[in-house]
C-alpha cells in the first residue's frame, strides 16, 4: 500500500510567529507571549517585526514604556518609528529603511566596493545610491554590477541616471500598482523637497500590501481591521452591529417587492421556488463583475480605467451569459409547469427566460458601476459594494420574474 505524504512545510521564524500573534490576537497577547513587559525583550521583538507591526506594538505602549524601549532599539528601528510620527498611515515613509549605503558622484568604484565589503552580511544591500551634496539623487549602481567596472572609474561615469524614485508621502498601494509592471528591487525615497531620505525594498512593499489587502477582505463583511480575537465583546459589537443593521434594513426592500406581487405568487407557487435560484444566480453574476472592477481599482490608477469600455464589456458578457442561462432556466420552468399539469407553462417559461437574461445583464452592469460610484462618493468600494450589489440584484430578480410572469400570463 502506498503511504500518502504531505508536502514539506517551512516552520515559521520567531519574528514571523510573533508577528502572527500580534495580527491575530493583538499587542497584549504578544506581550504576554514574551513574558510581560521587558524593555530589552520588547526592543528585540520590535527590531524583528516588519514596519507596520512594529509601529502597532510600539504605539500600544504608554509613554514611559516607550522611552525605556527606545534606549534598547536598533537605530534602524528608531528610524522607522520616527517616520511613523511624520508620514501618513500606509504611506511609503512608514515602511522605508534608512539608506544602507551611498556614494558621491566623484567617488571611485574601488572605494565604493571597499565600503560595501565592510558592511554586515545581513544588510542585504542591492543598490549603491549616488547622492549629490545637498541630498539629491544623481543615480544608482547595482552592487552586482560594481565588479564589472574599473576600480579607478568614478561612480558618476558608471551609474544609471534614471533611478526609480517614490515620494515618502505617497500611498504604499499606489506604488504597488506601478510595481506590478516593473522589475525593481529597491526604490529611492524622496521627501517633499526632493531630498534622499530612505529606500523602499520591493519585498517590503509586496509584503505590506498583501497584509493590507488581506485586512480588507474582513472589512467587506463588517470586520474592522483593528479587531482581534482579544478585542472585548462590547468593542466587537460596536464594530460589527452597524453593518448588520444596515444589511437587515436592505433586506426589507426585496420583501416589500414580494408583497406587491403576492397575488402572482399565490397563483403560481412554482415561481416562489425558482426565486431563490434566480437571486443566487444574479448575485453570482454581479459578484464576478464586481471582483473584476474592484481588482482593477485596487491595482491600477482609477483615472486609467475606461468606465465606458468596462460597461460595454460587461453588457456583452451579461447578455451572452443570460442567453445561455435564461434558455436553460426557461426550459426548466416550462417542464416543471407541464409536470404539474397546468396550462401556463409557456408563459412562465418565457417569463423565466427573459427575467434571467435581463437580471444577468443588470447584475454585470451593477457590479461594474457600483464600486465606481461608491469611490466617487468617497467610500471604499471593497468595503461597501457588496451590500449595494446584493440589494439591487435581489430587488431586480424578484421584480423581473414576478412582474414578467404577471405580464406574460394573459398573453399566452
Please indicate, yes or no, whether residues 190 and 78 belong to a single structural domain of this protein: no
Domain that holds residue 25: 14-86
Please indicate, yes or no, whether residues 128 and 213 belong to a single structural domain of this protein: yes
- Is the pLDDT confidence value at 315 over 80? yes
342-352 mean pLDDT: 87
How far apart CA 77 and CA 123 sit, in angstroms, is: 14
Please indicate, yes or no, whether residues 115 and 63 belong to a single structural domain of this protein: no
Please indicate, yes or no, whether residues 46 and 118 belong to a single structural domain of this protein: no
Strand 102-103, strand 127-131: pairing: parallel
Task: Write down which residue in 184, 219, 254 finishes a domain.
Answer: 219
Is 131 inside a domain boundary? yes
- Is the pLDDT confidence value at 301 over 60? no
147-169 mean pLDDT: 91
Lowest mean pLDDT across 59-63, 189-193, 211-215, 405-409: 211-215
Is 65 inside a domain boundary? yes
Between 150 and 203, residue with greater pLDDT: 150
Give pLDDT, residue 2: 38
How far apart CA 201 and CA 187 sit, in angstroms, is: 6
Dmax of the chain from CA atoms?
A: 96
Between 329 and 20, residue with greater pLDDT: 329
Please indicate, yes or no, whether residues 139 and 283 belong to a single structural domain of this protein: no
Please indicate, yes or no, whether residues 215 and 238 belong to a single structural domain of this protein: no
Q: Could you tell me where the DSSP H helices lie in 9-164?
A: 14-25, 27-33, 39-48, 51-60, 63-70, 75-86, 109-117, 143-146, 155-158
397-406 mean pLDDT: 90
Please indicate, yes or no, whether residues 185 and 321 belong to a single structural domain of this protein: no
Is 171 inside a domain boundary? yes
Task: CATH number of the domain at 159, please.
Answer: 3.10.580.10
Please indicate, yes or no, whether residues 106 and 134 belong to a single structural domain of this protein: yes
Is 204 inside a domain boundary? yes
Going by the DSSP 8-state scheme, the letter that residue 309 receives in this structure is H
Is 200 inside a domain boundary? yes
Cell 500500500 locates to: 1
Is 126 inside a domain boundary? yes
Order of strands, sheet of 102-103, starting from the edge strand that comes earlier in the sequence: 102-103, 127-131, 137-142
- Is the pLDDT confidence value at 316 over 80? yes
Average pLDDT score, the chain: 80
Domain count for the chain, please give it: 3
Task: Judge whether 165 and 188 are in contact, CB under 8 Å.
Answer: yes
Whether pTM exceeds 0.85? no
How far apart CA 90 and CA 111 sit, in angstroms, is: 37
Task: Write down which residue in 219, 254, 288 finishes a domain.
Answer: 219
Share of the chain above pLDDT 70, in %: 83
Is 226 inside a domain boundary? no
Please indicate, yes or no, whether residues 254 and 308 belong to a single structural domain of this protein: yes
Is 95 inside a domain boundary? no
Please indicate, yes or no, whether residues 142 and 50 belong to a single structural domain of this protein: no
Please indicate, yes or no, whether residues 363 and 398 belong to a single structural domain of this protein: yes
Please indicate, yes or no, whether residues 274 and 158 belong to a single structural domain of this protein: no
Task: CATH number of the domain at 399, please.
Answer: 1.10.357.20
Task: Judge whether 107 and 155 are in contact, CB under 8 Å.
Answer: yes
285-293 mean pLDDT: 85
Give pLDDT, residue 302: 54
How far apart CA 205 and CA 233 sit, in angstroms, is: 34
Amino acid at each position: 500500500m502506498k503511504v500518502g505524504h504531505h508536502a514539506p512545510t517551512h516552520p515559521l521564524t520567531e519574528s514571523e510567529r510573533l508577528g502572527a500573534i500580534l495580527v491575530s490576537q493583538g499587542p497584549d497577547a504578544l506581550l504576554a507571549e514574551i513574558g510581560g513587559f521587558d524593555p530589552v525583550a520588547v526592543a528585540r521583538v520590535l527590531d524583528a517585526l516588519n514596519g507596520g507591526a512594529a509601529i502597532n506594538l510600539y504605539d500600544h505602549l504608554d509613554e514611559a514604556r516607550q522611552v525605556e524601549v527606545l534606549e534598547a532599539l536598533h537605530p534602524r528601528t528608531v528610524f522607522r518609528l520616527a517616520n511613523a510620527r511624520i508620514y501618513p498611515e500606509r504611506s511609503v515613509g512608514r515602511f522605508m529603511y534608512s539608506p544602507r549605503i551611498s556614494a558621491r558622484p566623484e567617488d571611485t568604484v574601488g572605494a565604493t566596493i571597499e565600503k560595501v565589503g565592510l558592511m554586515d552580511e545581513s544588510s542585504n544591500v542591492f543598490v549603491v545610491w549616488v547622492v549629490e551634496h545637498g541630498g539629491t539623487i544623481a543615480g544608482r549602481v547595482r552592487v552586482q554590477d560594481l565588479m564589472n567596472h574599473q576600480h579607478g572609474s568614478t561612480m558618476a561615469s558608471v551609474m544609471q541616471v534614471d533611478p526609480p524614485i517614490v515620494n515618502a508621502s505617497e500611498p504604499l498601494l499606489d506604488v504597488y500598482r506601478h510595481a506590478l509592471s516593473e522589475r525593481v528591487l529597491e526604490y529611492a525615497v524622496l521627501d517633499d523637497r526632493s531630498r534622499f531620505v530612505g529606500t523602499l525594498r520591493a519585498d517590503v512593499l509586496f509584503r505590506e500590501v498583501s497584509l493590507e489587502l488581506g485586512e480588507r477582505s474582513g472589512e467587506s463583511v463588517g470586520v474592522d481591521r483593528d479587531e482581534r480575537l482579544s478585542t472585548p465583546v462590547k468593542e466587537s459589537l460596536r464594530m460589527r452591529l452597524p453593518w448588520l443593521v444596515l444589511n437587515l434594513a436592505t433586506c426589507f426592500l426585496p420583501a416589500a417587492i414580494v408583497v406587491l406581487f403576492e397575488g402572482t405568487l399565490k397563483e403560481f407557487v412554482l415561481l416562489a421556488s425558482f426565486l431563490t435560484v434566480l437571486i443566487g444566480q444574479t448575485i453570482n453574476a454581479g459578484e464576478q463583475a464586481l471582483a473584476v472592477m474592484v481588482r482593477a481599482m485596487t491595482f491600477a490608477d482609477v483615472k486609467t480605467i475606461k468606465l465606458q469600455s468596462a460597461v460595454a464589456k460587461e453588457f456583452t458578457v451579461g447578455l451572452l451569459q443570460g442567453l445561455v442561462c435564461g434558455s436553460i432556466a426557461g426550459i426548466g420552468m416550462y417542464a416543471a409547469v407541464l409536470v404539474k399539469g397546468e396550462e401556463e407553462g409557456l408563459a412562465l417559461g418565457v417569463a423565466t427566460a427573459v427575467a434571467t437574461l435581463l437580471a444577468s445583464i443588470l447584475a454585470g452592469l451593477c457590479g461594474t458601476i457600483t464600486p465606481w460610484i461608491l469611490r466617487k462618493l468617497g467610500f471604499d468600494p471593497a468595503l461597501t459594494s457588496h451590500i449595494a450589489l446584493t440589494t439591487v440584484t435581489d430587488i431586480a430578480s424578484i421584480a423581473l420574474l414576478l412582474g414578467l410572469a404577471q405580464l406574460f400570463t394573459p398573453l399566452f
